[in-house]
Structures are given as structure tokens and as C-alpha cells.
Structure 1
Amino acid sequence: MTDSIDDDAEHRVYSPAADHHFPDEKLNRVLEFITEDEEIQTYLEAQNVNAVDRMQYNDHGSKHIEIVRNRALCLYDLLKAGNVDFNGARQQGLAEEDEGVIIVLAATLHDVGHVVHRDEHVYYSIPLAADILDRILPEFYDLAETVRMKGEVLHAILCHHTAEMPLTTEAGIIRVADALDMERGRSRIPYEHGGRGINTLSSQAINRVSLQKGDQSPVMVEIAMTNAAGVYQVDNLLKAKLEDSGLEDQIRIVAVNTNENREQLVERIEL
């Protein structure tokens, strides 16, 4: 399943033209720049070779990045609407408008290390992303701002890995958004090539992920799954990303088994 503008009401796709709860003019300029940048787009295609073609793993290429970036920006908007504090840009003396730029750059570059290897890819992502940021950031920032922005983006990239603890709200968003790309479309390629590992099978069981304003917290994530295999995506992967993200109290997650034709081992789980 792919995202479309029609899904925007469920906070699945970031629309630059929409009204947001944050200043978006600079973010939109940066987003336009990076989506047309040849080097970045080549990385996004190349980073899928090790993950999918060689290791039969779930998608980590341009579609994954598009979905994670959309989820991250929609999470950002919902959290800003809920008056959640963002400390990354602020503690560096940067402007509120720079929060979204940190998020969009980190979401775009967080998996570039896959061009080296799937294993420990997050640590390869840091030097590769640093080189890209050295070229891109001066297009929008002076020298001092570039140094500070670079540090914040790299921190967010590093902390999408569960072994590293996010120290900023911006980094927490990237960590959670990465796990929110769990719908069945992500495992289509390895599944069609015979991949039947738990990551592939569990992703095949997730029908839809929707974000919306919550009643008890700023964000509620609703996950519709077609069988109990989807519990692995929710309980093992998403739960692990949400834990220690700094957003545990801000995001409520509800997963419902929507398959009415079979005996249900799991009907509903909530984190």
C-alpha cells in the first residue's frame, strides 16, 4: 500500500501547501532541494541493493524514506499541536523553523549507511550523511548555524538505532517514524522473492497505519493488522523504538486485528 494525498486527513502524508502547527517555509524549501538532488536520490536507490537484493530484507530505499519522512513530519505536526517541547534546535540557539529542517534531513539520510552494509548501517550512515550535509546546509545557513544543524541532524540519524538514546525530541521523532513504516508494501519485494522471515511475514500482516490527534495524548497511532503475525511489528519493533524515545507519554499506539474470517488469537493490543 502506498500513501496518497487522499490519506492526508489521517496524517499519513505531509503536504507543503497545507496549514501546519509550525513554521514551514524553510522546511519546504529544503524539502524541494533534497528531493531534486541527484546525489541524495542516487543514495536512496543504491542503499536498497544490500538490504533487499542481497539480503532479502524489507525495503530501505526511496519508498521507505518517503514514508518515514511523511510519518516524521506528520508526527511533528501533531506533537506541535499538542504543545510538546522541542529542545534540539532551541538548545543550539537555532530557530523554531529549524526543528522541521532537522527532522526532514535526518529522515531522508538515516539509512544511507546501507550502501556499505546492512549490519551496523547506522554507524556508516554518520560519515556519509556528514559529507552530504556539508554540501547542503551552507545553501541555507551560515557557518555557525551549519555546524549546529549538522550536529543535530547526525544525532537524530544515530538515535534511530535502538542502541542509542535520543537526547532531543527531534531525534525521538525519527526513531519512532522509522518503525511506523510497517505496512505490507514494505515487504513486497522480499516476499515475492520467497523471503519468509519474521520481518517479512509480520509486515505482510499489517494492512494500514494511521496517525491522528489523540484524546489521552497528542498522538494516537492506529494499526490495522490481518493476522496475529503483525504483533511482531507492533510489540517487538515499534515498542522497542518507542521505548526511551522520549515520546512514550506523547504517543498512544493501538493495534486491531481486522480479520473477521478466522479465529483470532489476538484481537487488540495497546502500548
Structure 2
Amino acid sequence: MNEPDPGTDSKRVYDPTEEHEFPDEKLNAILEFVDEDEEITTYLEAQNINAVDRMQYNDHGTKHIEIVRNRALCLYDLLKAGDVDFNGARQQGLDEEDESVIIALAATLHDVGHVVHRNEHVYYSIPLAADILDRVLAEFYDLPDVVRMKGEVLHAILCHHTAETPLTTEAGIIRVADALDMESGRSRIPYEHGGRGINTLSSQAIKRVSLYEGETSPVMVEIAMTNAAGVYQVDNLLKAKLRGSGLEDDIRIVAVNTNENHEQLVERIEL
């Protein structure tokens, strides 16, 4: 599950062939298993029917999951490079290599509840993901660790919803990564179809989301936008997800206006 031609200027896509700031052998094996699993791939396709076809909401299917999982693993890599502590796996007596697995599985399954309904989908995701995790984790872990891994993944899934408070760094990553899918009209905030309201204008203004090693924090998220309306999107989506994630001190958000006619109201703003 890879996005096409991501470029090399920032961390946008997790590449299993590259070297990372964490042990990745188990993660890569599980990613290969998950991407070939018929039940999971069918869920990712089916979960878009309620959201898009029936409710005219934004994409929550395969492409959304692809973006969120890539961003989550790239965030994890940068945060590990910045010596950020990850407590989820550690406090369960699991290994460091299990941190990335928790993140990848939570990112993959966080929206499966959409097959039941868009409304309150996070709570439907829990039992559905639990059944999938029982089967997938048993391929790689013994029973006690299946239970511990399952609990951590489900916690991260639950806490991508802003009404719930992440208690682990792994869960905080999923919450933030979910909001990083906002490029070129892919806003998590639904916009008026054919309209010109602030949601529409701000959503269409976001052109690129890039992750870099920060100078004053482990991660800098740079949002390239074509006009200042994009700030509304960043402020009401990404900042809302970052707030309460536990990663507020580790992630810096910068919005850059790339409007070529230079008539923008904002050229660069730190949020």
C-alpha cells in the first residue's frame, strides 16, 4: 500500500526497504500479510459505501487508510529519531518492535466501523477490529501477547476520535495522522458540494502536507496552501486533533502560502 511518486523532499510514505529509527522486520512482515488479506482489503473498500455513496461525506476507504498509515509510520520514525518516549508497548511488557506494529494495525483498521454507520463509527470499529486482530495477531504472537497487542491497537483506534483521550504515544500518533489526510480537497471536514463556503474554500486550498525533522521539535508538519483560507482547515482539523494527543510539544505546524500571484494575505504562519 504505497502512494505514487511521493518525492524525496519530506517523509510522506513509509518505505520498508529503507533504514528506519526503529526495528522494522516484524512490521514489514505484518504489513505484507495485511495487504494480502482478503477480509481486510474488503473492509477497506466496503467502509466507503456509507460514508461516500450514501452520506456524500469524504473518502474513508482504501485511499484514506493508505495515507493515514503512511503518515503515521513516518511520524513514528521522526519521533523515534527525536527520542520521544513510547509507552504503549513498553508498559505492556512488549518489545520496541511492537510499537510500529500497533501503529500500523490501528491505522489500517481505525475506520472499519463505517461499514455499520458513519455516525459513531469509532465505537463500531472496536468490535469489528477486535475480531480481525484475533486472527491476524495469532499469526505472529503467542496468546498472552495477542491479548496485550490487541488492547493497545484497540485503544489507538478508539482515541483517533477527539472525544477520547489517548493514554499512549502510539495512540496519539493515530489521532494526528488521521488529520493529515487533507490534501487537494481530501479534507476530514466535509465541505459543501458545489458550494463556496469556508469549508469548501479552505479544503481546496490545501495542496501538500509534508513531514520534516524539526529544528525546535522532533517533527515539523508543513502545510502548503494556495490561499489563506487554508488556515481555517488546519486550525479546525489538524490543531484540533493535535490538541489532547500528548504530542503537542513534539509536533510543530507551519502553514505556507504558495499562491504564485503573491496577492496572499498570509505567506507563512506557525499554528
Partner secondary structure for residue 10 of structure 1: coil
* Alignment-mate amino acid for residue 253 of structure 2: I
Contact 2:192-2:200 at 8 Å conserved across structures = no
Q: 2: distance between equivalents of 1:195 and 1:44?
A: 29
Q: 1: distance between equivalents of 2:108 and 2:169?
A: 17
Structure 1 counterpart of 2:33: 33
Shifted more, 194-203 versus 260-269: the winner is: 194-203
Change (3 A) 1:197 1:174: farther
Shifted more, 168-177 versus 261-270: the winner is: 261-270
* Alignment-mate amino acid for residue 173 of structure 2: I
TM-score by length of 2: 0.93
Deviation at 1:64, TM superposition (A): 0.5
Q: Which runs of 5 or more residues in structure 1 are unaligned?
A: none
Deviation at 1:30, TM superposition (A): 0.5
Q: Which runs of 5 or more residues in structure 2 are unaligned?
A: none
Asked whether 1:105 is paired with 2:105, we answer yes
Contact 1:22-1:97 at 8 Å conserved across structures = yes
Deviation at 1:231, TM superposition (A): 1.6
Contact 2:176-2:241 at 8 Å conserved across structures = yes
Structure 2 counterpart of 1:136: 136
Deviation at 1:201, TM superposition (A): 4.0
Q: 2: distance between equivalents of 1:40 and 1:198?
A: 36
Q: 1: distance between equivalents of 2:17 and 2:226?
A: 34
Asked whether 1:207 is paired with 2:237, we answer no
Partner secondary structure for residue 255 of structure 1: strand
Asked whether 1:78 is paired with 2:75, we answer no
Contact 2:111-2:121 at 8 Å conserved across structures = yes
Q: 2: distance between equivalents of 1:254 and 1:200?
A: 21
Change (3 A) 1:261 1:9: closer
Partner secondary structure for residue 137 of structure 2: helix
Contact 1:225-1:259 at 8 Å conserved across structures = yes
Q: 1: distance between equivalents of 2:200 and 2:64?
A: 14
Q: 2: distance between equivalents of 1:196 and 1:108?
A: 33
TM-align CA RMSD: 1.9
Asked whether 1:251 is paired with 2:248, we answer no
Task: Select the structure that is richer in helix.
Answer: 1
Identity %: 84
Partner secondary structure for residue 7 of structure 1: coil
- Which deviations, in whole Å up to 9, do the C-alpha atoms of 1:119-169 show, x marking residues without a partner? 111111111101110111100000000000000000000000001010000
Deviation at 1:228, TM superposition (A): 2.6
- Which deviations, in whole Å up to 9, do the C-alpha atoms of 1:161-193 show, x marking residues without a partner? 001010000000000000011101526xx9897
TM-score by length of 1: 0.93
| Number of positions where the alignment pairs a residue of Structure 1 with one of Structure 2 | 268
Change (3 A) 1:75 1:253: same
- Which deviations, in whole Å up to 9, do the C-alpha atoms of 1:16-65 show, x marking residues without a partner? 00000000000000000101111111111111111111222111110000
Partner secondary structure for residue 164 of structure 2: coil
Change (3 A) 1:112 1:201: farther
Structure 2 counterpart of 1:4: 4
